[in-house]
Every structure is written in structure tokens, then in C-alpha cells.
A and B are shown apart, each in its own frame.
Chain A
Amino acid sequence: MSGLRSFVARRLLLGVAQTVAVVLLVFALTEALPGDAAVALAGDQPDPARIQAIREAMELDRPAYERLADWAAGLPHGDFGTSLASGRPVSRYVAEGFGPTLLLATLTVALLVPVGFGLGVLAARRVGRLADRLISSVTLAVYAVPEFALGVLLVTVFALRLGWLPPTAVGYGTDLLGHPAALVLPVLVLLSRPVCSLARLVRAGMIDALASPYAAQARRYGVSGVRIHYAHALPNALAPAAQQLARTIDWLLCGVIVVEALYVIPGLGTVLLNAVAERDVPVVQGLAVVFGVLTVVLNLGADLVAHRLAPRAGVAA
């Protein structure tokens, strides 16, 4: 038990360090601006009034450590500063974009787990047969394809040629649930990579577990095949898959940004891309902290779950 507790403690410590590092890294962004930050940010419109406004808005005259302390102290309260472009608080941007992104992510994860595990188990039960070869080849092929290329091709086929689905979510605003047809393609594209990796992992884990001594022993005892598959082998195939689920978060984040740009969904990804294009540093920083901390927390959770599922990782994995 002490082993478990120390693992949890170490993992929590790493999580805290990662959170601090993300905050520092994001803050370092303004310090990394070449020359005078205000002049650099003014970019195309270098008139003195605008430079002065930026300098005041970002309080660039104060020393860096004071600004860091203020900014970091505001973060837990949801105070991310104000936008340079519009003067509105960054938290408003986050609140506005949160709904569509959360909807996309929830739908994707809700479908990802059953589809990924289903395909993996199906392939593992028919190793070497047609179903397995088909699933293995397709998942391997789709696994590496960038979302934007796949997404654009799907739009061409299903929206342009066949006319079954709307090509983008333009005009629906944040009310995406009212137009489920507009969600089909984005969720499908978001699912493409994670499903493939998850299915491959579950398949490999199941095959390993079924070939292990304890599965053979269970068979000798006359335990039914169904029970060996689902009660003995599957839980042991879960642990590596749970860890992969965490790595999937990184892909989902990348995917969400691309998919929102592609299907014109007004979520956090779109807000982030607009801010990057306008060099609106406070907004970029705020969103980066939200994304970064979210990743750290989800990774932490997945690691703890994986550890709980298979404390002696290495027996079957």
C-alpha cells in the first residue's frame, strides 16, 4: 500500500511541477518578444498612441517578476487579464468558446471509448482472420493522416457530392446541439486518430493477455472462453490503453483546434487561432494556460487510473 501512496505522491508532485512550468512558460512568452514588447506587438500599426496603449494594458513598465506574481495570482480566480484587441476580459473569451469545444470533446470521448475498445476486442478475438486483418490495416493507415486533409475530403464527398451533411457549421452559432447534422463530420474527423491508436493498443494488450500463463491456467481449469476474454484478459489490456487515452488528450486538443478551424465552429480553438493571428498576447496566454493545465490534469488522472487498474504493470502488459 505504501508503494501505491508513494507513486500517487510522486505523480502529484510531477503534476504540480508541470502546472507551474506551463504557467512560467506561457508567461515567458512576452519576455521572449524581441526588443520592446509593445513595439513588437503593435506590428503593422506602429503609431505611438497604440504602442503606449499596449504598454499600459500589459503594464510593461513594471518589472517582470511583479507582473508574473500579479498574473499568476489572478489565474486561480479566473482572472486572465484583458484582451489587447478588444479590451474585454480574457475570461469572457474563454467562457464563450467553452461550450462548443466541451460539446465536441464530450461527444468524441463518449464515442471513442466504446468504438476503440469494440474494434480492438473484435480484432483480438479473430486474430489473423479477415476481420482482424481489415481492422489492423485500416487503423494503421488512418492513424497517421492529418485531420485537416481527412476532413476536407469528407466534406467534398458527403457535403458536396452527396449533399447529405452541411459542409460547415456556419450560421449555427454556439447552438450546435440544435443542428446535429453539422456535428457528424467534425466528430468523425476528431475520432479518426484516437480510435485507431486505441483499437491497436487494446488488440495488442488482449492478444498478450490471452497468451499469458494465467489465461492458460484458467483454460485448464475449464473457465469459459467468454469469461477469460472479458473478466481476465480485458482488464489487463485496459492499463496500457488507459495510458494511451491520456496521450490521446494531446491529439484531441490538436484535433479540436484544426477541426474548429475547418468546420468554422466558434470554440476555444477558433478563439486561440484568431488571437494568434492578431498577436493578442493576453488572450493567447489565457487560453494556453487553460489548455496546458487541462492537459496536465487529465494526464495525471489517466496515469492514476492506469496505476489503479494494474498496480503490477508488467504482468500482462
Chain B
Amino acid sequence: MKNPRTGRFALGLAVVAVPLVLALLGPVFAEEPGRRAVSFTAGDGHWLGTDFVGRDVWQQVLHGGRPVVLTALAATTLACLVALPIGLVSALTHRRLLEELLMRPLDILLAVPSLLLILLAATVFSPGAVGLALLVALINVPDAARLVRAAAMEAAARPAVEALRMQGETWWRLAVGYVGRSMLGTLAADVGTRLTGVLYLVATAAFLGVGVAPDAADWAVMVDRNRTGLFLQPWAVVVPALLIVALTMGTNLLFDAALAGDRRSTRVQDTKRRGAPESLRSRAGSEARR
């Protein structure tokens, strides 16, 4: 059981390393933009040829990873920062109205297909990179908030919370100190899967021309713009496409392997931390649910 997981972890790490290093360190090694050459040529001093306006493809590749990765990271962080308080408050509040007020609008937002929402916004605002990050974050908030709420409700039903409440601990201490801390594992798992989804959306939106300049140095934009020259100079399309595939594939493999191990260890800790009477009670609870 352990072997395939470690293998998958190593594989994920190896696959994601190349695009990630290129994305983060690429701009450091990039040279000043040289004179533009003829478009879609191969060789002639250009290692990977030239792109649709005659720029060096290798230089574009060095620059093009950073926007994808940074936008995705920003959107994921933002979505979590917004979803966390919404989910926590709606799980811990005793006012039903407040709970409905927080969660119902999100249910409705869930109904709109994600790419459609991005395209709708693009019609009106023509967003930049920041706008795209905000949009993608907004799309991810409903799902993340629901997950936070479910995890928080599970933690809030424990006797420890009752004890803290009876001791007159502050709401803050209860919500952040106990409930927030005890669902860190679930949240970490969610951030992992969410990042993969966000990478997908950010890259796809950039491919469709949302949130980027038409000649931007961005792997997804490169795939789109250089498609016309696919027959003349495939490297301008294949290299950025391969990098995006490696980035998304590697992220998914890596997080899956890492979290599978993590989940097991937290479960072990949980059973250790809980005393015998409580595990009995939780077993009774699960019996009752059946």
C-alpha cells in the first residue's frame, strides 16, 4: 500500500518540477528582448524557433509560466480567505436567518457554469490578471464555503466545544482556537484539490483570451496564438502545451499522494487523542445515523 503512494509522490514531484522551476525562475534567466525575426521560423539562432510575431519562443517560455502560477496561487488563497469566515460563522451561529443568508446565495452561484461566469464578466469588464484572479476566486468560494461549513459543523458537535462553551470561553477562542484548528487537515486537502481546479480555470480562461493581453508572454496565450503556425513551427505550441500539461498533472499527482499519507496520519492522531469513552460515543453516533 505504501509503495504506490511514495512512487506517485516522486512521480508528481518530478513532473511538476520542470514547469514550476521554469515559472518561478524563468524570468530571472531571460534575456532582454532582442530584435524581432521572421515569424514562425525554426533554428537560425533561435533554439525553439520564433512565434507568431517573430519573438524567440524560448524567451517567451521563460516568461510565460509566472502569470499562470501566480494568478492561480492568488485566486486559491483569496477563495480560502473568503470561504473560511463564511463557513465558520454559518456553522457556529445559532441564528438560522444568518446561516441561510450566508449559504443560500452561494447555492445559487453554484448553478452557473464556471467558464460561463468568466465569459460573462469578460464581456462587460475586460478584466486584467487581477480581475481574472478575483473572478476565479469568486467561482471557488461557494464550494469551499460549503466544505468549511461541513467540517466545522462536525468539529462543533464534539463534547469539547460544549465544555469550552460552559467554561465561558470567548467565541473567538472557540471558533478559531478549537474548531478552526481541528479542521486544518480537511482544509489542507481541500486547498490541494482546489489549486488543481484553479490552475485549470486560469489556463483555460487565458487560452480563451480572458484576463491577458493578446500578445502576452503566457503559456496558455502562446498555445492559442501560435496555433496558426502549427504546421510551420510546432514547437511554439507544443512546448507551452506540454508545460501546462506537466504543471496540472504534476500538481494533481503530488497533492493526491501527499494528502493520502496525511489523511492516514491525522486519523491515527485523532484516535490517539480521543479517549476511549468518546470513540465509543462516536461509534454509537455512526450507528444511529445508519
Binding site for B on A (CB under 8 A): 14, 17-18, 21-22, 25-26, 29, 32-34, 133, 137, 140-150, 152-153, 155-156, 160, 167, 249-250, 253-254, 257-258, 261-262, 272-273, 275-277, 279, 281, 284, 288, 291-292, 295-296, 299, 314-315
Contacts and interface: CB of A to CB of B under 8 A. Distances in A.
A249 B289 CA distance: 31
Given A17-B108, A144-B196, 15 more contacts: A14-B107, A21-B108, A21-B111, A25-B120, A29-B123, A137-B8, A140-B256, A141-B252, A143-B252, A144-B249, A146-B244, A148-B204, A149-B248, A279-B123, A292-B112
Contacts of A299: 111
Contact of B114 (A26, A250, A273): A250
B36 to A, nearest CB: 24
Contacts of B122: 276
A33 B125 CA distance: 7
B215 to A, nearest CB: 16
Nearest to A14: B107
B8 A284 contact: no
A21 B107 CA distance: 10
A133 B11 CA distance: 14
B253 A141 contact: yes
A140 B200 CA distance: 14
Interface string B232-245: 00100110011011
A202 to B, nearest CB: 17
A167 B120 contact: no
B217 interface: no
Nearest to B195: A144
B88 interface: no
A153 B224 contact: no
B203 A140 contact: no
A134 to B, nearest CB: 11
Given A155-B230, A156-B237, A273 B112 contact: no
Contacts of B252: 140-141, 143-144
Contacts of B40: none
Nearest to A256: B115
Nearest to B251: A144
Contacts of B249: 141-142, 144-145
B124 A18 contact: no
- Dominant SS among interface residues on chain A: helix
Contact of A149 (B107, B231, B241, B290): B241
A17 to B, nearest CB: 6
B34 interface: no
A79 to B, nearest CB: 20
B123 A149 contact: no
B107 to A, nearest CB: 7
24 contacts: A17-B108, A29-B120, A32-B125, A133-B4, A140-B256, A145-B248, A146-B203, A146-B244, A148-B220, A149-B203, A149-B245, A152-B227, A153-B245, A156-B230, A160-B230, A258-B208, A262-B227, A275-B123, A276-B123, A284-B120, A291-B113, A292-B116, A295-B113, A314-B289
Contacts of A146: 200, 203-204, 207, 220, 244, 248
A152 B241 contact: yes
- Counting contact residues on chain B (CB < 8 A from A), the size range is 35 or more
B123 A147 contact: no
Contacts of A143: 252
Nearest to B203: A146
Contacts of A141: 249, 252-253
A153 B238 contact: yes
A292 B113 CA distance: 7
B223 interface: yes
B115 A257 contact: yes
Contact of B234 (A147, A156, A253): A156
A22 B245 contact: no
A22 B116 CA distance: 11
Contacts of B141: none
Contacts of B116: 253, 288, 291-292
A275 B116 CA distance: 13
Contacts of B238: 152-153, 156
B98 interface: no
A153 B116 CA distance: 25
B284 interface: no
Given A144-B252, A152-B241, A284-B123, A160 B234 contact: yes
A296 B111 contact: yes
A22 B196 contact: no
B237 A152 contact: yes
Given A142-B249, A156-B230, A156-B237, A148 B224 contact: yes
